[in-house]
Amino acid sequence: MPPKSNYFQDVDHYRKDMLIKTELCGTPMQFSTTWGLFSPKTIDEGSKLMLNYIQVNNNDNCLDIGCGYGPLGLSIAKLAPQGQTTLIDKDFVAIKYTEQNIELNHLTNCETFLSNGLDQVGSRQFNLVVSNIPAKVGNELLSLFLIDTYNHLEKNGRFYVVTITGIRKYIERSFKEVFGNYKKIKQGKTYTVAMAIKE
């Protein structure tokens, strides 16, 4: 049998989990990740931009839609120790790693579970909802996200999103249709953070 090429050795290496050690919202954090998850080698710039500008109360009940391995939701959970943070994703691998990262970061005010959009959220209500919305989410799924988020927000609850800057106008129109308001929090060259409030 011929010796294994470097290609096979590389593939074996790719199967190993990666560990991101970073600081988010002024707090040291670490995240176990793997290939196949979004931005597995470093925290993505969109999430970092949102976390630099988001306002979180220490007793907020929070929801992270499409949590990936958890950088947004777990950072928010640190900022809201008297509240409960729920992290959801439709990818079972993302949920597996989020569960690991809850333990890695010694968080006790979090729960995570599989959900296609908000279909498994039940009767939970939130003061704060966040999402790093993929560029190719599609109008139909985005509409579901917006309506479901509106229905699960308490009065005066906030919905923060970060998107690529190219779809900021579409997000603005959609927020105004569903929530009746829109606020651009920060626009960068690549990403824009925006917010709506349930009035």
pLDDT tens digit sequence for 143-181: 888 999 999 999 999 999 999 988 899 999 999 999 999
Q: Among 170, 175, 162, 198, which residue's Cα sits nearest to residue 54?
A: 162
Residue 126 lies in a domain: yes
3-state secondary structure of 34: coil
- Residue 83 domain-assigned? yes
- The answer to whether residue 27 is domain-embedded is no
Task: Give the pLDDT score at 136.
Answer: 74
Check: pTM over 0.85? Answer yes or no.
Answer: yes
Residue 30 in domain: no
134 located within any domain: yes
Residue-wise pLDDT for 116-149, tens only, equals: 989 999 999 999 999 998 877 777 888 888 999 9
- Backbone φ and ψ of 132, nearest 5°: -95, 95
User: How many domains in the chain?
Assistant: 1
Structural domain range at position 90: 44-197
Give dist(CA 65, CA 62) in Å, integer.
10
- Using CA atoms, how far apart are residues 110 and 164, in angstroms rounded to an integer? 28
CATH number of residue 78's parent domain: 3.40.50.150
